[in-house]
């Protein structure tokens, strides 16, 4: 009897273990690269008068169950419960569905099978608890470096003040997910006006996180009328740091130099900034004279105040910025008035004058044809225009090249050749460091830097030119020519009579796009989340441009019709 009991017990345990196991296909054979997908589902897409309490989905392959559940969403929101049986998932509604309401179910593209394959596209279906279905759709495409898995957030803005919409705190009413091809469709939309965002995020809360997410938005709000809407194109990029410029710490050098460190890089845009900044001794309420204010590069997180007297470590001081917009960061955020109270943090170090960027290395090869040579210093510099600061020589032709020197920024100077350089030719650039002085007339070192370099072979390069036929009401259009691998990029502006030209282009296959530079900052703007700003208009032209050696391409006609 004891043996019989053990026998039956072992059978029961085996059955329990088998039923509880996460069943997997047998291993072995060629590598599985087939993406998972949905093979069948209930209810059918576009079902009306739906009165069931669950959805059933069958998969073509064994999937990672956790990843599937994390990629499911339904609009309007409903609390869900999940039950698995092999490759079948049953999703139970934990709340009663609303009457006469269209629901959109979405399974995104970030779930995986047991071989870590992801689906090619999102799965979506629509059903209604009433007799009709909201059939409106918004279709589009996303462009960017991180496209797969991007979420499309859609908000109906007809009956609200859209200026109050903040997607950091307001979950999306409708959403879908983008596959690897960048295409998307948002379904089950009633007619109306919508605001649309593209967000690439690691969070699953249906919100936007500006400190970490990629972001993009459409060029305008979208109208759905009779179920139809215009095609949407959105470019995404890492969202810029829109936080205000803030002081994070200060440091006093032994040579009466005060370093004020900020939370992000910026440059000085106010001329005569010394007139708008004051440093006050809080004990005596007297001003500390400021001799000079500068950065330690062309763009920096550190602002320096050269003082006419040293500070005391037993006192507190107040730094006041008396006006807005004295500084501007790399995201075009301007500084506001600042009131910073601190006690000096002293260091025995000296802030020595030095060069921090050189455009060349000795014996460098493949230097581009249209090259300007910019040297950057850690302090503002002065140059004697009558002095022989630099010289450029053609080492093969044994002659001197005419150059000019420009100081476009306080901390840098640029050497510009005034003659056409020869391909695959050796040159020497000599730079007299002893002629460069800082604001205190100090020099780094009385020496001459020399750089021998060889130019690249551009004899096979070509020009590409044409005309823009339609400017969509934009007066500042920039064209961007990019090689398929992204290594080569060229920019051109629209000239008179809407003509454009790219010069000295390497043989390759290129993609051409245009964008409307509305704020004339020279770069494409992806829009802003809050307060809301739409993206700048752009168009990617479908036809690729095959550039062959020594074969100029002319009379390309472009139509910027969207």
Distance, in Å, from the CA atom of 196 to the CA atom of 188, rounded to the nearest integer, reads: 15
**Is residue 318 within 8 Å of 288, Cβ to Cβ?**
no
Q: What is the pLDDT of residue 149?
A: 87
Buried b (16+ CB within 10 A) or exposed e, 511-540: bbbbbbbeeeeeebbbbbbbebebbbbbbe
Q: What is the pLDDT of residue 1?
A: 54
Q: What is the pLDDT of residue 157?
A: 96
Helix or strand (DSSP H, E) at 5: helix 2-20
Q: What is the pLDDT of residue 335?
A: 95
The sign of the torsion formed by the CA atoms of 499, 500, 503, 508 equals negative
Q: Look up residue 159 and give its two tokens.
A: 């009956």
The sign of the torsion formed by the CA atoms of 171, 174, 177, 182 equals negative
Q: What is the pLDDT of residue 28?
A: 59
Q: What is the pLDDT of residue 12?
A: 52
Provide φ and ψ at 404, rounded to 5°. Answer: -130, 155
Q: What is the pLDDT of residue 5?
A: 53
**Which CB contacts under 8 angstroms, 24+ apart, belong to 36-42?**
36/60, 36/61, 36/63, 36/111, 36/112, 36/113, 36/117, 36/118, 36/119, 37/61, 37/119, 37/120, 37/123, 38/107, 38/123, 41/123, 41/125
Class of domain 355-455: mainly beta
Helix or strand (DSSP H, E) at 91: strand 88-93
Average pLDDT over all residues of the chain: 91
Residues of the chain with CATH 2.60.40.10: 137-239, 462-559
* 397-439: pLDDT as tens digits: 999 999 999 998 999 999 999 999 999 999 999 999 999 999 8
CATH topology for 247-342 is: Immunoglobulin-like (2.60.40)
Q: What is the pLDDT of residue 350?
A: 87
Q: What is the Cα gyration radius of the chain? A: 32
Distance, in Å, from the CA atom of 500 to the CA atom of 477, rounded to the nearest integer, reads: 10
Residues of the chain with CATH 2.60.40.3710: 33-133
CATH 2.130.10.10 is held by the domain 462-559? no
Domain spanning 137-239 has what CATH number? 2.60.40.10
Q: What is the pLDDT of residue 25?
A: 55
Distance, in Å, from the CA atom of 75 to the CA atom of 186, rounded to the nearest integer, reads: 11
Distance, in Å, from the CA atom of 145 to the CA atom of 127, rounded to the nearest integer, reads: 34
For residues 89, 93, 94, 97, the Cα torsion angle rounded to the nearest 10 degrees is 170
Residues of the chain with CATH 2.60.40.1220: 247-342, 355-455
Counting as low any pLDDT under 70, the low residues of the chain are: 1-29, 471-472, 562
Q: What is the pLDDT of residue 15?
A: 45
Distance, in Å, from the CA atom of 402 to the CA atom of 448, rounded to the nearest integer, reads: 18
DSSP class of residue 113 equals B
Kindly state the percentage of the chain with pLDDT values over 90.
76
Answer CATH for 33-133 from 3.10.310.10, 2.40.128.50, 2.60.40.3710, 2.60.120.10: 2.60.40.3710
Q: What is the pLDDT of residue 18?
A: 43
Q: Look up residue 516 and give its two tokens.
A: 């409307």
């Amino acid at each position: 009897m004891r043996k019989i009991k053990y026998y039956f017990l072992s059978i029961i345990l085996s059955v329990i273990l088998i039923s509880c196991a996460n069943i997997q296909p047998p291993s072995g054979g060629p590598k599985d690269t087939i993406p998972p997908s949905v093979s069948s589902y209930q209810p059918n897409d576009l079902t009306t008068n739906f009165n069931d309490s669950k959805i059933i989905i069958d998969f073509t392959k064994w999937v990672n169950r956790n990843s599937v559940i994390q990629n499911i969403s339904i609009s309007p929101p409903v609390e869900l419960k999940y039950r698995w049986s092999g490759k079948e998932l049953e999703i139970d509604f934990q709340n009663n569905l609303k009457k006469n309401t269209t629901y959109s179910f979405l399974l995104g593209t970030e779930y995986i099978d047991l071989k870590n394959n992801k689906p090619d596209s999102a799965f979506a279906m629509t059903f209604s608890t009433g007799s009709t279905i909201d059939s409106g759709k918004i279709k589009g495409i996303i462009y960017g470096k991180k496209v797969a898995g991007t979420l499309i957030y859609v908000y109906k803005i007809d009956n609200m003040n859209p200026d109050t919409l903040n997607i950091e705190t307001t979950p999306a009413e409708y959403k879908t997910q983008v596959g690897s091809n960048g295409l998307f469709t948002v379904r089950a939309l009633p007619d109306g006006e919508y605001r649309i965002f593209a967000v690439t995020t690691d969070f699953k809360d249906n919100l936007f996180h500006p400190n970490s997410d990629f972001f993009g938005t459409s060029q305008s709000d979208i109208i759905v009328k009779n179920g139809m809407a215009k095609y949407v194109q959105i470019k995404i990029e890492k969202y810029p740091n829109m936080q205000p410029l803030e002081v994070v710490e200060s440091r006093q050098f032994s040579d009466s130099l005060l370093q004020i460190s900020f939370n992000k890089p910026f440059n000085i845009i106010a001329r005569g900034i010394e007139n708008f900044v004051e440093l006050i001794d809080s004990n005596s309420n007297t001003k500390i004279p400021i001799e000079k204010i500068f950065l330690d590069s062309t763009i920096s997180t550190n602002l320096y105040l050269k003082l006419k007297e040293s500070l005391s470590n037993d006192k507190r001081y107040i730094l006041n910025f008396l006006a807005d917009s004295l500084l501007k960061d790399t995201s075009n955020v301007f500084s506001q008035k600042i009131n910073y109270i601190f006690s000096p943090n002293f260091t025995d170090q000296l802030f020595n004058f030095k060069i921090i960027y050189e455009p060349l290395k000795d014996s460098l090869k493949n230097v581009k044809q249209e090259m300007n040579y910019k040297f950057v210093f850690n302090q503002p510099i002065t140059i004697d225009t009558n002095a022989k600061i630099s010289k450029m020589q053609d080492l093969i032709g044994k002659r001197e090249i005419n150059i000019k020197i420009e100081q476009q920024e306080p901390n840098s100077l640029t050497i510009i050749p005034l003659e056409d350089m020869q391909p695959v030719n050796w040159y020497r650039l000599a730079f007299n460091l002893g002629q460069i002085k800082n604001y205190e007339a100090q020099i780094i070192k009385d020496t001459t830097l020399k750089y021998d370099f060889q130019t690249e072979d551009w004899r096979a390069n070509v020009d590409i030119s044409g005309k823009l036929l339609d400017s969509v009401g934009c007066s500042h259009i920039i064209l961007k020519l990019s090689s398929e691998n992204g290594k080569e990029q060229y920019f051109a502006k629209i000239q008179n009579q809407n003509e454009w030209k790219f010069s000295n282009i390497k043989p390759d296959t290129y993609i051409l796009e245009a964008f409307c530079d509305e704020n004339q900052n020279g770069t494409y703007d992806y829009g802003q989340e809050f307060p809301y700003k739409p993206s700048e208009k752009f168009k990617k032209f479908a036809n690729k441009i095959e550039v062959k050696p020594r074969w100029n391409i002319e009379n390309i006609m472009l139509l910027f019709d969207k």
